[in-house]
Amino acid sequence: MKLRFKLIFLTLLFILPTLALSAGLEVVNVSTPQFNELMKQHPEMMIVDIRTPGEFNQHHINGAVNIDFLSPDFATKLKKLDKNQPILMHCRSGNRSSQSLVIFQRLGFKKIYHLNYGIVGGWPHR
């Protein structure tokens, strides 16, 4: 059962960004070192943390905006963001953030830098 879940998760992790990419959203899957480098080179880039407020309050990247993927108003809050500005986005493990790419695409966002394996894959620091 655990192996089956891992296979489904890995499949979604790689297929959903590809589907979003084909629909007009450029998704760049990045490692923790790449995420860190993007934060250093582009401090103006918005960091969107889509974990729950409880997870966010435990620890988060300085300057990150918390928009809870599990919240019923997730899409409404995303609509308030600049769709033309590239966004650095992450969740805890990469699962919710991969799922959210369809919503970002539907709302017309242009470019998302997606932290592979989320914050547990190696917490980036600003």
Asked whether residue 23 is domain-assigned, the answer is yes
Asked whether residue 7 is domain-assigned, the answer is yes
**Phi then psi dihedrals of residue 48, to 5 deg:** -110, 120
Q: Mean pLDDT of successive 10-residue segments in the chain (126 residues)?
A: 56 54 81 94 96 96 96 97 96 94 96 92 57
CATH of the domain at 117: 3.40.250.10
* pTM: predicted TM-score of the whole model, two decimal places: 0.78
Task: Write down the pLDDT at residue 24.
Answer: 85
48, amino acid identity: V
Q: Which two tokens stand for residue 72?
A: 């019923």
Domains identified in the chain, total number: 1
Task: Write down the pLDDT at residue 23.
Answer: 54
State which residues form the domain around 34: 2-121
Asked whether residue 126 is domain-assigned, the answer is no
Q: Is 55 exposed, middle or buried (0-12, 13-18, 19+ CB in 10 A)?
A: middle
Task: Write down the pLDDT at residue 50.
Answer: 98
Rounded to an integer, what distance in angstroms lies between the CA atom of residue 89 and that of residue 91?
7
